[in-house]
Amino acid sequence: MAFVIRKFDYSENLGAKLKAIRRCANFTLSEMETKTKIRKSFLNAFETGNYAALPDPIYAKNYLKVYVRALGGDVSYFMDQYEAECGTCDYMKNARLPRRRAGSWQFLVASRYVKVLAVLAVAVTITSYVGYQVREIVSPPYLLVYQPFDGVLTGEALIAVTGHAEDGASVKVNGVNVLLSQTGSFEIDVALERGLNVIEIESTKRYSRPAMEYRRVVLQQNRTLSFK
């Protein structure tokens, strides 16, 4: 590649000089972005003098050094001019130049993502576990009624109600507490009235919703009196 020697116009600002060197070297901003690994928007900010678009001064100076070295320029000369134009005090520079608020994404690193995901995973696990335990507590207990069958017809005034309930549950038949065996089975005789009877079997545990079963039993009795 043939290099063209160009004399600086010392009245030009930093950006104009950087742009002149880059054009003489026949590089585009996109090519310099690839070469220096510096954002094209930052390189353009140097060349246009838009210092407010640059990151904090400590980073901006490092970017400028890398950029000047990649262009083959005198780092000390350009750093002196940068400080002359922006002010040698970083605090004063920040105070007098309007700056854009840095996006939160600029400060996030992989470890923070991992920590956030880990916290979320723990929170989801705890919430799921608590939800499962709550459902187990409030869900109706297991209840199985062996007899009578629903819709049965009988001529007897008493009918046996038998079944099996979950361990630790209580059982009521038509509002009457029923004693459970050690295995959880129960049996009670229920007096029937003539016609349709609805037997209500209820099983509950502490804080749980009740488990309900209903059995419809029809009592048919012959009231015909016989005289001898």
Range in 9-23, 169-183, 202-216 the model is least confident about: 9-23
Token readout for 108 is 């996030």
Indicate if the pLDDT at residue 6 is higher than 50.
no
CATH superfamily assigned to domain 143-219:
Immunoglobulins (2.60.40.10)
Indicate if the pLDDT at residue 200 is higher than 90.
yes
Q: Are strands 152-154 and 211-219 parallel, antiparallel or unpaired?
A: parallel
Higher pLDDT, 196 or 224: 196
Residue 154, phi then psi, degrees to nearest 5: -145, 155
Global pTM reads 0.41
Radius of gyration of the chain (CA): 44
Token readout for 46 is 């140097």
User: By percentage, how much of the chain surpasses pLDDT 70?
Assistant: 82
Mean pLDDT over 153-165 rounds to: 93
Nearest to 1 by CA among 19, 27, 32: 27
**How confident is the model at residue 5, as a pLDDT?**
45
Residue pair 71/38 in contact (Cβ under 8 Å)? The answer is no
Residue 189's region, left for phi above 0, alpha for psi from -120 to 50, else beta, is beta
Question: HEC profile for 139-161?
Answer: CCCCEEEEECCCCEEECCCEEEE
Q: What is the pLDDT of residues 43-100, one digit of tens each?
A: 999 999 888 889 988 899 999 999 999 888 888 999 988 988 876 444 444 444 455 5
Mean pLDDT over 133-162 rounds to: 89
For the chain, domain boundaries: 14-102, 108-138, 143-219
Highest CATH level, class, for 14-102: mainly alpha
Nearest to 66 by CA among 40, 37, 86: 37
Indicate if the pLDDT at residue 102 is higher than 60.
no
Q: Amino acid identity of 204?
A: T
